[in-house]
Chains A and B, each alone.
Chain A
Amino acid sequence: MSVAKKLRCRECGREYELEPSNVCEFCFGPLEVVYDYAALAGHVTRESIEAGPPTMWRYADLLPVDAENAVDIGTGYTPLLRAPNLGRELGLSRLYIKNDCVNPTWSFKDRVVSVASSVARDFEFDTLACASTGNLANSVAAHAARAGMQARVFIPADLERGKIIGSAVYAPTLVAVNGSYDDVNRLCSELGDKYPWAFVNINVRPYYAEGSKTLGHEVCEQLGWRAPDHCIVPMASGSLFTKIYKGIKELAWLGLIDWHPTRMSGAQALGCSPIAEAYDRDSWNIRPQKPNTIAKSLAIGNPADGYYALKTMRSTNGSAISVTDEEVVEGIQLLAETEGIFAETAGGVVVSGLRRLVREGRVEPDEVVVAFITGAGLKTQEAVAPALKPALAVEANIESFEQALEEREGVLPLTKAV
């Protein structure tokens, strides 16, 4: 069972009961769930976890809600794949891909929303809400459907059609706001004050964020109960980055893995890179940016957890990197062409970011590296479509096919021996 015991302010350390709240009443610092790890010692073992379900809920003891109350649509325990082809391209001998594209709504957001919706139901909310540019909206709508809750999902009116359908199919109240992301932000902040809804990334944010830890847990288990040498993670708010590291540390605290100096490095798109920019300036001060990048799922201009991401990065001897939109597309193509995984733009940021980090000597060639691919490419097809070769257009006869193939490839392939 869950051993979550309090919410604690990350700034002043004041503690609060487990309730729907995300900000310290005293200093307005962010709240985080704290656990009674001592109560788990001896009770949680490698064997007990391995005997659990093949989902993120095999780590329920380390989440703030009991497994039997979970809103579970089959999220997590996604593949950790050895990536020899991409590794060869990048110059890494022990590269792994954590493929979180294969979650039920095709992104890692299912992990955080699975926890947030479970907690929201425990707190007897009847409505699950969010503001999102895509992945989160899809996941909130799906989990609300499963939980029998109402969903209210707010999106900017000019969002791409594919992302709208990916939410609309679950029949939420889908609200297309006539305005910019900032306008949607403001509206939802005001709605959160007025209506008794569980806004997954506002009033239940401390619980929501905990779901990301399971990525860290899974990677260690899948590596044979050891921590990786180096993690490469996409950064938006910075929350995912810090929680993956927390997940790894938790397993070490519980004695399920040996202590290991895992390095944490983060990647952003240059058009919205406030954390990487602060890292480059050797500063703790995040300068807010107005996002201008195709990597929209990472486009948070004033990241709430940016400072904590910098802290994790520097304390683990990791680093930050930012890549251009052209590199984002190259990264998507490189991953698809070498390992057969079609990632969304955030995956392109990670692969191209990793390529740069290796070239600059910031990742060692023989490190056990895990690249976190957090969303599937079908969601952001428009980003990569212009860079792809068109299909060969042929008539239904061999001559037409061979002519087209010769024009494209210069030579014809060998025919069967007669």
Chain B
Amino acid sequence: MATVRTKFTFVEQLIKEPIIWKLAKDFEVVTNIRRADVTDERGWVILELEGDQDEIGRSLDWVREQGVRVDPVYEDVVEG
């Protein structure tokens, strides 16, 4: 089992979509939301995903395909 900490950022058009519910339903991944901020114009959710490493990878690919930005938590990995 693996755990991944990640940040999803939603653009305005996706705020009302139940992306995290679908993720938990369609993939063998446990979602654990730690912090979130959602407004009319934008939303972000910081959460932990737990499951098989490959399954988590597939679930994150699916989230990206929906148009959600996926980032590591509090890391600008590539810097100047």
* From B5, B41, B72, B79, contact of A136 by CB (8 A): B79
Report whether A302 and B74 are in contact in the complex, using a CB–CB cutoff of 8 Å.
no
Total A-B residue contacts, Cβ distance less than 8 Å: 98
Measured CA separation A199–B79 after assembly (Å): 12
| Interfacial chain B residues near A300, Cβ < 8 Å | 76, 78-80
Count of chain A residues near B, Cβ 8 A = 46
Q: How far is the CA of A130 from the CA of B77 in the complex (A)?
A: 8
Which of B9, B46, B71 has the most A CB atoms < 10 Å from its CB?
B71
Which 9 A/B pairs are nearest by Cβ-Cβ distance? Answer: A297-B80, A189-B72, A185-B77, A237-B76, A30-B74, A136-B79, A131-B78, A28-B34, A28-B46
Question: Would you list which residues of chain A between 186 and 204 have a CB under 8 Å from chain B?
Answer: 188-189, 192-193, 199, 201-202
A188 and B77 contacting across the interface, CB-CB below 8 Å: yes
Residue B54 is within 8 A (CB to CB) of chain A in the complex: no
Known: A283-B41, A287-B42, A302-B69. A22 touches B75 (CB 8 A): yes
Cα–Cα, bound, A237→B37 (Å): 19
Nearest-neighbor residue (CB-CB) of A135 within chain B: B80
Residues of A within 8 A of B (CB): 11, 22-23, 26-30, 107, 109, 130-136, 156, 181, 184-185, 188-189, 192-193, 199, 201-202, 205, 236-237, 239, 283, 285, 287-288, 296-300, 302-304, 346, 375
Interface membership of B13, Cβ < 8 A = no
Query: Is B74 within 8 A of A304, CB to CB?
Result: yes
Q: Which residues of B contact A (CB under 8 A)?
A: 4-5, 9, 11, 34-35, 37, 39, 41-42, 46, 48, 69, 71-80
What's the Cα separation between A160 and B64 when bound, in Å?
29
Point out the residues of chain B lying under 8 angstroms from A29, CB to CB: 35, 74
Chain A, residue nearest B37 (CB): A285
Instruction: Point out the residues of chain B lying under 8 angstroms from A375, CB to CB.
Output: 80
A131, B41: Cα distance in complex, Å:
31
> Contacts of A299 on B, CB cut-off 8 Å?
80
Decide if B76 touches A22 in the complex (CB within 8 Å): no
Q: Contacts A28-B5, A283-B41, A285-B42: A184 and B35 contacting too (C-beta < 8 A)?
A: no
Assess whether A23 is in contact with B73, with CB atoms less than 8 Å apart. Answer: yes
Q: Are B34 and A26 in contact (CB under 8 A)?
A: yes
Shortest beta-carbon distance from A202 to chain B in Å: 5
B46 CB → nearest A CB, Å: 5
Chain B residues contacting A189 (CB-CB under 8 Å) are 72, 75, 77
Chain B nearest CB, measured from A107 CB (Å): 8
State the CA gap A296–B46 with chains docked (Å). 27
23 contacts between A and B (CB under 8 A): A23-B5, A27-B35, A107-B80, A109-B79, A109-B80, A131-B77, A184-B78, A185-B71, A185-B72, A188-B77, A189-B75, A193-B4, A201-B76, A202-B75, A202-B77, A237-B76, A237-B79, A296-B80, A298-B80, A300-B76, A304-B74, A304-B75, A304-B76
Q: Which residues of B contact A302 (CB under 8 A)?
A: 9, 69, 71, 76
Minimum CB–CB distance for B73 against chain A, Å: 5
Nearest chain B CB to A106 CB, angstrom units: 12
A201 neighbours in B (Cβ, 8 Å): 75-77, 79
A21 to chain B, nearest CB (A): 11
Q: Assess the B76–A236 pair: CB atoms within 8 A.
A: yes
The contact of A11 among B4, B11, B35, B79, by CB within 8 Å, is: B35
**For the complex, what is the distance from the CA of A339 to the CA of B19, rounded to whole Å?**
54
Distance in angstroms between the alpha carbons of A206 and B29 in the assembled complex: 30
Q: Known: A26-B34, A28-B34, A28-B73. Is A346-B80 also a contact (CB below 8 A)?
A: yes
- Interface contact A28-B74, CB-CB below 8 Å: yes
| A contact residues around B11 at 8 Å (CB) | 287
A257 and B69 CA atoms in complex are apart in Å by 44
